[in-house]
Amino acid sequence: MSPPSLSAILCTFNRAELLSQTLESILGQTLDRSNFELIVIDDGSMDDTRKVVESFERRLPLRYAYQANAGLASARNHGIYRSQAPLLLFLDDDDLCSPNLFEEHLKTHVQYPDNHFAVLGYIGFDPNLAQKPLLHYVTEVGCYLFSYSNVKHGDVLDYPYFWGGCCSCKRKFLIDYGVFNPVFRFGCEDIELAYRLSKNNLKVVYNARAASTMAATTNRGTRPRRRSCCSS
């Protein structure tokens, strides 16, 4: 059996409720299920994460792997090495994927087949998050987080736009030139890797149609993901 075209790597830690929404959104992907696999790396969750994943096992081409809590970089590396597809898409556990998310990433990689091209998708916010003044400030004014104001669809960008939770890249490029540094348990693991990969000419193609939405949490607020080209 030939491997799928795309491996989506979803690392999660104690966010069973959000994870359920994320998995629901993956159910609706337009990309044929024979063409992708979903790898869920459970980074030591103590909640119902495993049960949630199990409830989707018959509906998604899904593989679950548990590890003792070790942080996002280690979890992503675990996912990279478990993956079988030539393209890797990194997802976060609060992403609600648009139906064509996987397909759009794949399309852009077909257009840019060289190994050094990665793809950046667009992440919007749940309306409950978007109306918060602080989020408006960090995304639109200070450009500290998810700053898309300076990029347009189709742009070929440099390494600071390799944002962990909404980027895809070629597996071989990582295998040949480097994976995440496990010292970074949460945050900056993406930009640090991208900086190293930039020595091998990493370029990031922005596809605004590869969209997802960051879900609002019910009780803990937004996980502080760093997604900016301005703060690197």
Partner 1 sequence: MSNSVLIVGVYLLDKPSYIRQIKSDLSRSSRSEVEQRWVGLGTGSIPEEIADVTVRKVIPPAMKFPLLNQLLAEAKLDDFEFVLVCDDDIVLPENFLDRYLDSVTRYGFVLAQPARTHDSFSPHMIVDGFSGHPFVEQLDGLVARQTRFVEIGPIFSVHRSAFELIFPFDETSPMGWGYDFVWPQLIANAGLKMGIIDAVPIAHSLRKSGFYYQHDKARAEMKEFLAHRPHLSPDEVFFIIESYAA
Q: Which is nearer to partner 1, 73 or 211 (CB)?
A: 73
Judged by CB under 8 A, which stretch of 28-36, 48-56, 103-111, 170-178 contacts partner 1? 170-178
- Residue 150 touches partner 1, criterion: CB under 8 A: no
Q: How far is the CB of 68 from partner 1 (least distance, A)?
A: 4
Point out which span in 78-86, 118-126, 143-151, 208-216 binds partner 1 (CB under 8 A).
Answer: 78-86
Among 50, 82, 107, 209, binds partner 1 (CB under 8 A): 82
Strand pairing partners for 66? 42
Question: What whole-number distance in Å separates Cα of residue 106 and Cα of residue 123?
Answer: 17
Q: Which of 51, 55, 81, 137 binds partner 1 (CB under 8 A)?
A: 81
Q: In angstroms, what is the minimal distance from the CB of 39 to partner 1?
A: 10
Smallest distance, partner 1 to C-beta of residue 93, A: 16
Task: Work out whether 15 is an interface residue with partner 1 (CB under 8 A).
Answer: no
Considering the complex, what minimum distance in angstroms separates the CB of residue 188 from partner 1?
16
172 binds partner 1 per the rule CB under 8 A: yes
Q: Give me the DSSP letters along the chain.
A: -PPPSEEEEEEESS-HHHHHHHHHHHHT-SS-GGGEEEEEEE-S--SSHHHHHHTTTTTS-EEEEE--S--HHHHHHHHHHH--SSEEEEE-TTEEE-TTHHHHHHHHHHHS-STTEEEEEEEEE-HHHHT-HHHHIIIIIS--SS--TT--TT-EE-GGG--GGGEEEEHHHHHHH----TT-SSSSHHHHHHHHHHTTT-EEEEEEEEEEEEPPPSSS--------SS--
- Contact pick of 48, 65, 126, 201 for partner 1 (by CB under 8 A): 65
Q: Which of 58, 68, 113, 218 binds partner 1 (CB under 8 A)?
A: 68
CB 156 within 8 A of CB 203: yes
Do 25 and 56 contact (CB within 8 A), yes or no? Answer: no
57/176 with CB nearer partner 1: 176
Of 24-63, binders to partner 1 (CB under 8 A) are: 43-44
- Binding stretches for partner 1 (CB under 8 A): 43-44, 65-71, 74-75, 77-78, 81-82, 84, 172, 175-179, 182-183
